[in-house]
Amino acid sequence: MTDVQILMSFPTEAPYRIDQVTNNPGLMLSLAIGQILLAGLLSRVTAARLWWTTAGLQLITIAVFFTLASWGTSDIARFSHHLAINPNEVLQEPAWIAVAPLITMLPYRLAFVQGLVSAGFALIPLLLARQWRRPHWGGWWALLLVWSPLLRNFLQNGVTRQALATLLITPLLLRSAGWSHPTWLWVGIAIAGSGLSHNSLAVTAALAVVPLLTRPALLTSNNNRKALLFSAVLVVGTALIAFSHPAIQQKLNHYLFETGYYNTYGLRNEVLGLELTALMAVLLTVWRAKLNLRSMASCHDCRTLLAYTLMLGLVQLSMATGFLAPIVSRCLDPIGLFWLLALLAWTSRHHCAWTLIPVLAVVGESFIDDRILSLEDCIGGDQFMCPPDRWPWQINY
C-alpha cells in the first residue's frame, strides 16, 4: 500500500482509533495499585539506594500505565499514524519533526513518549521530596500530580507536546520560587527545549516566573538582579523567536478569533473536590503551625500559593463565562501544576505535609473510580483508558 493510499484510508476526523483497542480495567487497576504500593514502600524506606531504586520502579510503572492508557486518545492515534508518512501534516514544532523518525521506532510510538512525559511529571515531586528532606512523601506527591484532574488535558487526553513543553519549563519555576536551584545553564537549555517543543512557551514561561513577583527581596542583591535580568532576556528572546513563526501566529489567531471550543475540565466535581480539600489542608496548616496574617504575608511560599490560587480561579471563571475561554482554558494544566507544587512547598515548609492526605484521597478516588473502573466506548470514540489489544510489533498504524 502506498503512502497516498494509507493516508486516504485513515479517518480525516475523530474518532481516529477505531480498532486495535480494548477495555482492560483489570490490567489498569493492577498498575494503579502497583503505583500505590510503591508509594507506600517509599514512605517506609530509609536507605538512599533502596529509596532511589523504589522511586525508579514507581516511575517505570507510571510510564507503562500512561503509555497503555493514552493509546486510544485522539492526538496519540493521529500523530502516531502521520509520523511515519508525513510529520509536517500534523506537526509544526521543529523538535518534533526532527525526532519523528526516532518516535516511529518506539513501541506504541507517541503513546510511549506520553508515558515518558507522565513519568517526568512524577519525577518532579520525587526530587523535591529528597531536597526538602521529606523523602517519605515523595511517592504520594508523585501520584497527587499525575492522577490530578487538574492535569487531565495533559496526561489523560494525550496532549503530549504542550505537556512536554510545560515539563521543560518547570526548572525555571523551581529557580524562580527558590524551591530548588538548578544552574542557569540547565534552565536556559530547558527553556530552549520548551520553545522548540510547543508554541505555548511565552505563556508557560510567564506563568513560571510569577514567583519572582512574590519575592521582591531578590532585587536587593546585585547577583540576583543579574540572574533575573538574564532570565528575563532568555524568556523574552525565546518568546519573540517563537511568535515570529507564521504557524504560531496563525494558531494564536485561531484560538482568539475563530474557534469557540474549549474544555471545561476545571469546572468538574473532582476538581472542585480537590480544591475544597486543599482549602482544608491550608486551614489545618494555619492552625497547626500557629500562623497569623502577618507571618503568612511575610512567607514567599504563601504569597506564591495565593498568586497561583487567584490565577486558577480566573481560569475557572473564564471557563464558566466563556470569556476568552478557548485560549485561557489551555492554561489550566500549567497553572494547575504550578499551584499543586506551591501547595506542596508551603505545607512542607511548615511541616504539615500530612494535611494533604484528604487531597490525595479525593484525587485517588476520582481517578480510580471515574477513570479506571468506568468503561469507555473504545470503538465509538478516542478515549483514555483504552489500551492496545496487541503487542507493539503487531500494531498496524
Counted domains in the chain? 1
Task: Note whether residue 111 is domain-resident.
Answer: yes
Task: Note whether residue 170 is domain-resident.
Answer: no
pTM score of the predicted model: 0.90
Beta-bridge partner residues of 388? 21
Cβ count within 10 A of residue 181 = 11
Beta-bridge partner residues of 21? 388
Task: Note whether residue 192 is domain-resident.
Answer: no
- The full DSSP string for 286-354 is HHHTT--HHHHHT-HHHHHHHHHHHHHHHHHHHHHH-TTHHHHGGGHHHHHHHHHHHHHHHHHHTT-GG
Task: Note whether residue 66 is domain-resident.
Answer: yes
Task: Note whether residue 158 is domain-resident.
Answer: no
Condensed to tens digits (0 to 9), the pLDDT of residues 69-117 reads: 999 888 898 888 888 787 777 777 788 888 989 999 999 999 999 999 9
Condensed to tens digits (0 to 9), the pLDDT of residues 132-188 reads: 999 999 999 999 999 999 999 999 988 899 999 999 999 999 999 999 999 988 998
Nearest to 272 by CA among 307, 323, 207, 319: 319
Condensed to tens digits (0 to 9), the pLDDT of residues 17-33 reads: 667 888 899 999 999 99
Domain ranges, residue 382: 1-146+375-390
Task: Note whether residue 119 is domain-resident.
Answer: yes
Task: Note whether residue 316 is domain-resident.
Answer: no
- Cα four-point dihedral sign 231, 233, 236, 238: negative
Q: Which residue has the cell 506537526?
A: 91
Task: Note whether residue 221 is domain-resident.
Answer: no
